[in-house]
Amino acid sequence: MNPLTGLGPFFAVDTHSAGEPAEPWRLLSEVLDDGPVLRDRVAQNRAALGGDFVELRVAASIAHLGLAARIISPALGLAVGAGAVPDYSTAWWQPKLGGAFPLSLAENPPVESEVAGAFAARVLRGPLARLDRAMARFSLARNVRRGNVASALNGAVTVLRSERPEWTERVAGIVSALEETPELAGTATRENGRFRRRSCCLFYRAAPDRDGPKCGDCVLV
């Protein structure tokens, strides 16, 4: 059974064999670096949020959070459910806005003996590190970028605990190790199991008066 089945759109992936993607698929790498594809995606998010009155860094943060969640979710599902970590250097995507964009990963990702370490190397220090460097160009603070990754990881954890309660112990072990990595250390707290990030994703600033609703895990709540 595919470990990602039934986990929702942010976990769902297609699979592909080696080779160049065919339309409408494109290489995911094109949106991970500062360039026209990423800038267009941030601009589309800005337009969807309300247009020019929305600060560019706010639109960038929302785009960053969505991309991070789409990358982390299936990777965590495979890591916990199959002990495997995908290689995003060969991933394909379709640049659709709104919800989880179509994503395709290489078939049969390798099973790892040390899953958390492989996840940190292949996901946190792979596509997410590239995306982090690109997002810095939008004047998005480092603590916000790190917090977005922590929130994306916690969102995936929440789904796995709900939909795969039998995985709870494995989820906790892998995530505990990931939260001690340099990429995530100090980004959030957990009190009685409740996750709260130490930064804000800035979504509340998309409101016309820049005082909109705040997320449940926000440091400002």
Mean pLDDT, the chain, rounded, equals: 93
pLDDT at 145 over 90: yes
What would the two tokens of residue 112 be? 């790892």
- How far apart CA 85 and CA 217 sit, in angstroms, is 27
Residue 170 CB neighbour total at 10 angstroms: 16
Listed range (89-93, 133-137, 178-182, 212-216) with the worst mean pLDDT? 212-216
- How far apart CA 221 and CA 219 sit, in angstroms, is 6
H or E segment to which residue 162 belongs: helix 142-163
pLDDT at 213 over 90: no
- How far apart CA 149 and CA 182 sit, in angstroms, is 12
CA distances in angstroms from 70 to 6, 119, 190, 220, listed in the order given: 16, 15, 23, 25
The contacts of residue 144 (CB under 8 Å, 6+ apart) are 61, 199, 200, 201, 202
pLDDT at 20 over 90: no
pLDDT at 123 over 70: yes
Q: 206 pLDDT band (50/70/90 cuts)?
A: confident
Q: What is the pLDDT of residue 19?
A: 81
Q: What is the pLDDT of residue 51?
A: 85
Q: 31 pLDDT band (50/70/90 cuts)?
A: very high
Amino acid at 102: P
pLDDT at 211 over 80: no
With a pLDDT cut of 90, the percent of the chain lying above it is: 79
Highest mean pLDDT of the ranges 20-24, 29-33, 193-197: 29-33
Q: 99 pLDDT band (50/70/90 cuts)?
A: confident
Pick 39 or 2 by higher pLDDT.
39
pLDDT at 193 over 90: no
Q: What is the pLDDT of residue 1?
A: 64
Name the pairing type of β-strands 103-106 and 14-16.
parallel
pLDDT at 162 over 80: yes
